[in-house]
Structure 1
Amino acid sequence: MNWKKALKQTLLVMSFSAVLPAMAEVGFPEKEELTFGFIKLTDMAPIAIAYENGYFEEEGLYVTIEAQANWKVLLDGVIDGRLDGAHMLAGQPIAATIGYGTKAHIITPFSMDLNGNAITVSNDIWKKMKPNIAKNSDGKPVHPIKADALKPVVEEYTEAGKPFKMGMVFPVSTHNYELRYWLAAGGIHPGYYAPHKGDTSGQLDAQAFLSVTPPPQMPSTLEAGTIYGYCVGEPWNQQAVFKGIGVPVVTDYEIWKDNPEKVFGITAEFAEKYPNTTIRLTRALIKAAKWLDDNNNANRPAAVKILSQSNYVGADYDVIANSMTGTFEYEKGDKRAVPDFNVFFRYNATYPYYSDAIWYLTQMRRWGQISEDKPDDWYKDVAAKVYRPDIYAKAAQSLIDDKTIDAKHFPDFATETGFKKPQQHFIDDIVYDGSAPNAYINKFSIGLKQGDKL
């Protein structure tokens, strides 16, 4: 053992001896030196803040944080052990566990945020959409803007023999499902996947053709004319506004109010091998998330300053601040208050709800990534394998016991089922009940239903 590691362990023992007995019940971390991955998006903030504010070190964890080139590289890094954990698309642990794309048992003890995405179109497409959009008395567009306004534009391109191309960040990303949801709600078919036929393009029967573009490349790809619009997280929608190349038309908050976004992913093997480490990293992330939302987002300017560093998101302070500090700019000059555009802690944002996982599974089935019907119990069983509120509850309860965070900020763990009440705030007014996934799938006019096969 080298002297630095010996010193770290000595300091760790000294610090632990000073804390309350409830804290000691968590136990020493079995693995202290960790490497976490992330993609350059503002919703990686809990990891950056846990590092910069010393929350990882408070838990005896010595963390290295590394930006990853894309979501596949990030996922592969967690699976092969190069990364101990990572900022992940919520669909990634679910898809890996059921074997879509890559087979690996990935879990999440921590949901990283709510909302945070938007759909942006090029200036040319926006000009074509505007005549189809109602105006407020001040002449500005009425929001939310539905895809109904885009449908005549897509039809115009189709009639001219030009495929209408749009970008999203990954086949199992929230962005893919949100973009598809918005398009389909406006009568535009975003296409099917047919993995059982070897077709993973997601473009079968499509009227709008969706393909993968890494988040930081979205604005330049739009500017080049390769795609006509995209769905991505911040700051890459606001970047289009600042560069004058596109207009965000709808936020995911308007598509599905307070929708779950990213998660922190680790392998099931890691959690089993290092249970104390897992609880401690969850504690650190919970503390970071709370700090981000404390006092009506009072800490956001400080967070933006951190995120603007090149080793984190690396976008200009003003670009990141445009959404992180409670506003969102649509058309240039049309800045509106959206205090919940980024939510990191309030509304139990960090709790890994089974119903959130099930929603992703319903969309995988709706668009053919899950080729065959599954009974309702299958959806619930998969959710329970991937989303781990039991780990979260242990971490949260220890924070309550050592008086770090008050119990009022968490669900009542004695009665919590992991299922949210039926959710009504969708752009198409369809109600989602996570306890009845097949009934939910059958409500949509566009998409596979029970019994459908491609």
Structure 2
Amino acid sequence: MRTFTVRRSLLKKTLAGLGCAAALLFSPLSLQVAQAAEPEKDELKLGFIKLTDMAPLAIAYEKGYFEDEGLYVTLEAQANWKVLLDRVITGELDGAHMLAGQPLGATIGFGTQAEVVTAFSMDLNGNGITLSNAVWEEMKKHVPMENGKPLHPIKADALKPVIEQYKAQGKPFNLGMVFPVSTHNYELRYWLAAGGINPGYYAPAKGDIAGTINADALLSVTPPPQMPATMEAGTINGYSVGEPWNQQAVFKGIGVPVITDYEIWKNNPEKVFGVSKAWAEANPETHKRLVKALIRAAMWLDADGNANRAEAVKILSRPEYVGADAKVIANSMTGTFEYEKGDTREVPDFNVFFRYHATYPYYSDAIWYLTQMRRWGQIGEAKPDSWYLDVAKQVYLPEIYRSAAAELVEEGLAKSEDFPDAGEEGFRAPTNEFIDGLTYDGRKPNEYINQFKIGLKADSVL
């Protein structure tokens, strides 16, 4: 924190000691551009979990993008996703790197009830599903092979006979995921169900929030950094998590990442930058400036065909950020992904931070999460299509993103073509790039829910 303190003090003293004209010559770039308002709050504490997709926060700090916006930020790692969310709600954190489902889950009252919003999507993809060596050896017998290597994507159909063996022996098949409203939970459930494996249902109205009703595989929460050790101890048979904790299993020789979320749903939204609604309303200028800094960081991370990723890996490997070995982080973040040890494949879009309009808060991204909450019973009753859009609009704030992007274009720091068209209504085009080939159209959530063979239908109740 010493570097942070020195830089902040020096900047404030310099601006205070200079006249207005001189200050414009020496101040950060954004202060050279006439702005309508000063930030309501300039000293901020932002939270994150030790995962590679917190990178926009680290880069915005290390490259001085926060300071360019007149913001003096402290970044603080949090113990787990619940603590992080609670601290944003209470105001101990001004904002945080969040699971995309957290603001939505809080707003509809699944778990913690609170109004949490986002104006910035932090990334696409970045997760994987890892199984223990013992499970993989049995599963591999059922996986199609090509040139002596598993044919990808590996479907959960090959896991089904392994789970049936466990059942026959009277043993539970346990899998870890990071949080009930996490992408990891929904991706793991999606993959299992596409292979004919029921991951279980929630019934909050009946007091059942374990999510294991009628389950073939039992899913439970494990904090991301603890995943490898928990699997190595035999408590879980596998897990769904973000990097670097899948690659850590490969390096430790304790498990095999069998599939990435890019293969489950190509270019799926992953994390968001979340703040409380009250904070957003009290600090609109500060919020916009945070989004500006984060957009610049995302652009840097994806610039020139990921040319900056090697530098990003070094930064993230530091203990104050992810704190994992740089080789482990690089194994996925620099355009490759190692599955079975020695089986490294090109996956250039495993981590996407800006391409494909990754940072824009699309309503359709929010609605997909809500469809999965309904599919697995976290939303316990039927809802009309209009409800899904109404909730998305409560939580996702594209107008703040657009304002931030417009200022970056005006300042010459971005180009208008970097961002969605002005007439964009908040919906990505319908896509069938899922492992089961089903089509998702965010404008028709109930129709989408009704396509699934495993899962609640739009109007069913447990």
State TM-score, norm by structure 1: 0.97
Q: 2:180 corresponds to which residue?
A: 171
1:3 is displaced (CA, Å) by 8.4
Q: Which residue of structure 2 lines up, in the alignment, with residue 359 of structure 1?
A: 368
Corresponding residue for 2:398?
A: 389
Deviation, 1:402, is 1.2
- Please give the secondary structure, in 1, of the residue aligned with 2:337: strand
Equivalent pair of 1:22/1:402 in contact (CA under 8 Å):
no
> For 2:269, which of 260, 277, 282 is the aligned residue?
260
Check 1:188–1:397 CA distance in 2 against 1; reply closer, same or farther (3 A cut): same
Q: CA deviation at 1:445?
A: 0.4
1:408 pairs with 414, 417, 425, which one? Answer: 417
Aligned partner (choices 341, 344, 357) of residue 335 of structure 1: 344
The aligned residue for residue 354 of structure 2 is 345
Q: CA deviation at 1:403?
A: 1.0
Q: Residue 199 of structure 1 corresponds to which residue in structure 2?
A: 208
Which residue of structure 2 lines up, in the alignment, with residue 57 of structure 1? 67
Equivalent in the alignment of 2:245: 236
User: What is the SS of the residue equivalent to 1:48?
Assistant: helix
Asked if 1 retains the 8 angstrom alpha-carbon contact of 2:58 and 2:316, the reply is yes
Distance 1:82 1:323 in 2: 33
SS at match of 2:331: helix
**Distance apart, 1:24 and its partner CA:** 2.5
Gaps of 5+ in 1: none
* Deviation of 1:408 (Å): 1.3
Q: What SS is found at the alignment partner of 1:230?
A: strand
- 1:20 deviates by 8.0
1:372–1:9 CA distance, 2 compared to 1 (3 A): farther
- Which SS does the other structure have where 2:356 is aligned? coil
2:365 aligned partner, one-letter code: D
Going from structure 1 to structure 2, the CA distance change for 1:84 and 1:11 (only over 3 Å counts) comes to farther
Distance in 2 separating the partners of 1:18 and 1:311:
25
1:23–1:398 Cα contact (<8 Å) kept: no
For residue 23 of structure 1, report the CA deviation from its aligned partner: 4.0
| Corresponding position of 2:3 | none
Equivalent residue runs for 1:306-345 within 5 Å: 306-345=315-354
SS at match of 1:190: coil
Could you tell me how far apart the structure 2 residues matched to 1:20 and 1:181 are? 44
Decide whether aligned partners of structure 1 residues 26 and 237 sit closer, same or farther in structure 2, where only a CA change above 3 A counts: farther
Among 294, 297, 306, the residue aligned to 1:297: 306
SS in 2 for 1:266: strand
Of 123, 126, 131 in structure 2, the residue corresponding to residue 121 of structure 1 is: 131
Q: Which residue of 2 aligns with 1:183?
A: 192
Q: Name the SS of the counterpart of 2:313 in structure 1.
A: helix
Flag the 1:95–1:141 CA change in 2: closer, same or farther, 3 A. same
> Equivalent residue of 1:301, what SS?
helix
d(CA) in 2 for partners of 1:106, 1:181: 26
In the other structure, the counterpart of 1:249 is: 258
Structure 1 residue 19 displacement after superposition: 5.8
Q: What is the root-mean-square deviation in Å for CA atoms of aligned residues?
A: 1.7
Give the direction of change, closer, same or farther, for the CA distance of 1:18–1:171 in structure 2 (3 Å limit): closer
Alignment partner of 1:39 is 2:45? no
Q: Give 1:147's match in structure 2, choosing from 142, 147, 156.
A: 156
TM-superposed CA distance for 1:40, in Å, is 0.2
Equivalent residue for 1:377? Answer: 386
Kept after mapping to 2: 8 A contact 1:89/1:172:
yes
The answer for unaligned runs of 5 or more in structure 2 is 1-7
Residue 88 (structure 2) pairs with residue 78 (structure 1): yes
Q: 1:210 — aligned with what? A: 219
Distance 1:324 1:153 in 2: 31
Identity %: 67
Name the TM-score, length of structure 2 as normaliser: 0.95
